[in-house]
Structure 1
Amino acid sequence: MEADLTLHVNGQPHAVRVDPATPLLYVLRNQLALNGPKFGCGLQQCGACMVVLNGNLAWPSCQLPVSEVLHMTVTTLEGLTRPDGSLHPLQQAFIDEQVPQCGYCLNGMVMCGAALLAQDAKPNEEEIRNSLYRVLCRCSVHSRAIKAIKRASEV
């Protein structure tokens, strides 16, 4: 049964008409046209669909019912970009450290890094590694992602 709901995504309210049990990922991609979060495994195990909830919690969106985020703020990869169009320091650090390869894990790595930096502006390497534990990467760019998150923490 569909309902009229309001989601707070990337700093803006968005009215959507959707079944409250619909996974957040589908609403983000199909109704709000936000393509940062990706469908990967659909089982909350790969990290491709990560979003940041309430500014500091990275969470997979592929099985998260949209009804559970009605009173939360949701940030996607697109929401990290500054209002003037400039990149978030973490996004720039990922470019500077040449992290991107195939792109499958990129959203998850950036969103987990953003959530970590929101909680701890100066994380150590172990904390950074722990923040990425839910992100699968077949291209083996974890070491570059760790460097990028560290670089962003120094800005």
Structure 2
Amino acid sequence: MQQIENQDQEQINNSSQNIEKMEEQIDELKNKIEKLQKTKFEIAEQRKHELQNAYKNLEENIILREKQMQQKLEEILSQREEEINKIKNYYENLNSFSEIRNLKVKLKEQEKKYKENLQKKDQKIYDQQTKKLYVTQQQISSAICIISAHLKVNVSKR
């Protein structure tokens, strides 16, 4: 009988020790989970800031490209105006001679064709720049979608 009681007491002691060990392991696991959650949150915040910075950089690049395109178009327009003024001056000088008046008509036709060609060239350049801007805007839209998706995933994970 005494032996059974000793065995029971030993089993109780062993069970108590096992319970204490399990409680220690549970505490350790809780600490590890807490650390992982903190790390996960820190990584999510860091990624969020990185994505926000990338978005800001993309916006700045678009604004810069728009300014560059506008400046380029203004330069082209200025050059075209100078060329047209040169042609006008040339016409005015031709007016002083009556024999050349017939040539003036021909030159005006050429000027008209030249202006049409210039407009076509200007339109082509404008279309090219607009396409580049559209592609850039599409890239930004894609980046925004990706950022939004990441932010939604990060928020839903919290």
Between Structure 1 and Structure 2, the one with more strand by share is: 1
TM-score normalized by the length of structure 2: 0.18
Larger Rg: 2
Between Structure 1 and Structure 2, the one with more helix by share is: 2
Higher relative contact order (CA 8 A, sep 6+): 2
